Structure 1
Amino acid sequence: MRAIWKGAVSFGLVSVPVKLYSATESHDVSFRQVHAKDGGRIKYQRVCSIDGEEVAYADIAKGYETEDGEMVILSDDDMAELPSTSSREIAVEKFVPSNQIDPMLFEKSYYLEPEKSGAKPYALLRQALQDADRMAVVTVALRQRTSVAVLRVRDDVIVLQTMMWPDEIRRPDFSIETGEVKDAEVKMANMLVETLAGDFDAEEFEDDYAGAVEALVKAKVEGGEVKRTPTSTKSSGEVVDLLAALQRSVDAAKTARGETGAEAGEEAGEEEPAKKAPAKKTAAKKSTTKKTPAKKAPAKKAPAKKTAAKKSTTKKAAAKKAS
């Protein structure tokens, strides 16, 4: 994992330097909007709803729509004047009983890892939260906005969970009319609850929808129901993993078919010229080899002359010595 934020947890006079890691990731199945005819991806243009013209990124501003439908344009200077903070402090406001916080308020979870210098106070805070069975309500600045969050312990790791603001929780605007509920019905409902009672284990549940989608896609790939587009684009997250798995499925399907069909024929056709080319080069080499002796025939006499010259020189040297 890669740390996305660094700061310190402060409670009282104690400060615990920590790193923040995202504790969750989505494994939801992603689909692309494509042209059903050829599989090409659908592109969207940024078009103004008033004049119908495409708008460049440089001309796009932030707008706030009022309740009566009027649009207020906010410039970069306006946004710069808004209250923001870059504090690296996770400030503990109070410790509250765990059962007092509605789970609906929880938004996103992060793991807190202590720096080496903060390992001991980290362990003390973790133990205090466990012994008291309480959560620490904190304020923290993430993405330049102050948020309310809680600290709790999960598997010996302190987890920070950001919370929604109270006015972000919608209230139901409907009423439920149950009619008369008989004692016998309540008793039977209680018996049903006891029959299905048990401990929660997250491993008992799995995303059967994602598995079914992968099986469906694999079956279509093996059946040849694939649109081949001229270009491929990079994706991110689980889509990349899925495409890699599908590519392996394609390779396995080709192997199982023995590479029969149009594609196998094309590959075989490409190999034919490659085999003929070396044959032409070989013939050319043979032709050159036959001509070489005729051209080098005069060259063989040259060594003979040089040898004779050397012998003559040797005889003259010997004669001088003799005299």
Structure 2
Amino acid sequence: MHTVWKGAVSFGLVNVPVRMFSATEDKSIPLRYIHEQCGTPLSYVRRCKHCEEDVEWEEITKGYEYQKGHFVKIQKEELEQLAEQASKEIKILAFVDLHEIDPIYFQKTYYLSPQETSANAYNLLLESLRTTGKIGIANVSIRSKSSLAAIRVIDGCLAMETIFYPDEIRAVNQVPHLPEKRDVKENELQMAQMLIQQLSTSFDPSQYEDEYRIKMQDLIQKKIAGEEITTVPEQPKTNVIDLMSALQASLEAVQQPEPKQNQKDTPTPTKKESV
């Protein structure tokens, strides 16, 4: 893993020097824009509409649009000065229970490992969090961006989850067209609750996969191999006219036992190739 940040976790007067590693990776398949006529990849051009000319990186600065069409320029040196002032410390401010934080606050997860001389302090914090069942709420600055963070234990490793500040969460009352009343028919509610119970299980992430990415990889491999691409016909949908019919059909589909095959007629299973 590549180290993305070096600093220290502190709580009270205890200081734990750590290295930070990204705990997740984006596995989306990158697609580039191609000129349809000749097949050449297109380049990103930085062009000034006013001067009608391409602009080199050394001629570019940053700015904030405080009013439509009006900007204040922020120089590179000013940004670097702000970055230097940012503390290289994950300062734990308080300890809370994980269930108190709504998932809407979570951004990105990082793993933390001890630096060369901090194994004892690292283990102390890890075991303290594990045995108390608490997580630490901290302030942190990464790449010039400040955020709140949650320090917790994942499989014997300290982890940090950056979380949004409260004013970064949009209020629910901004969502348009929410129903003012929550009138629900009792029989429909009971059916929906039964369906939820039937579909309830323990969370096992290994049971889920990115179907779109698998199909995209298959499409790319077929095109590389020069195969003809065919479109799979869409499966017919059940024509459901109301909620009760939908709930009843869903329950019947969940409760329907799998058909038993005659042992003589059971086909030899084929190994499914992974993409």
- Superposed CA RMSD in Å reads 2.2
- Matched to 1:205, the amino acid is Y
Aligned partners of 1:94, 1:84: CA distance in 2, in Å?
25
Residue of structure 2 equivalent to 1:182? 185
The structure having more radius of gyration, on CA atoms, is: 1
Contact preservation (8 Å) 2:23, 2:109:
yes
| Larger strand percent | 2
Structure 2 CA distance for partners of 1:80 and 1:3, relative to 1, 3 Å: closer
User: Which range moves more in the overlay, 21-30 or 8-17?
Assistant: 8-17
Q: What runs of 5+ residues in structure 1 fail to find an aligned partner?
A: 226-323
Contact preservation (8 Å) 2:135, 2:152:
yes
Aligned partners of 1:104, 1:93: CA distance in 2, in Å?
21
Residue of structure 1 equivalent to 2:20? 20
Structure 2 CA distance for partners of 1:212 and 1:135, relative to 1, 3 Å: same
Q: What runs of 5+ residues in structure 2 fail to find an aligned partner?
A: 229-275
> Percent same amino acid among aligned pairs?
37
Residue of structure 2 equivalent to 1:159? 159
For residue 203 of structure 1, report the CA deviation from its aligned partner: 0.6
Matches within 5 A, 1:112-151: 112-151=112-151
1:199 corresponds to 2:208:
no
Contact preservation (8 Å) 1:84, 1:145:
no
Matches within 5 A, 1:101-112: 101-112=101-112
Matches within 5 A, 1:308-323: none
Residue of structure 2 equivalent to 1:94? 94
Contact preservation (8 Å) 1:34, 1:40:
yes
Q: Please give the per-residue CA displacement for 1:202-222, whole angstroms capped at 9, x wherever unaligned.
A: 110111111111111211222
Contact preservation (8 Å) 1:85, 1:141:
no
For residue 80 of structure 1, report the CA deviation from its aligned partner: 5.1
Structure 2 CA distance for partners of 1:67 and 1:99, relative to 1, 3 Å: farther
Structure 2 CA distance for partners of 1:74 and 1:12, relative to 1, 3 Å: closer
Aligned partners of 2:126, 2:83: CA distance in 1, in Å?
32
Matches within 5 A, 1:282-293: none
Question: How many aligned residue pairs are there?
Answer: 225
Aligned partners of 2:114, 2:123: CA distance in 1, in Å?
9
User: Which range moves more in the overlay, 187-196 or 132-141?
Assistant: 132-141
Give the SS at the match of 2:117.
helix
- Matched to 2:219, the amino acid is L
Contact preservation (8 Å) 1:134, 1:152:
yes
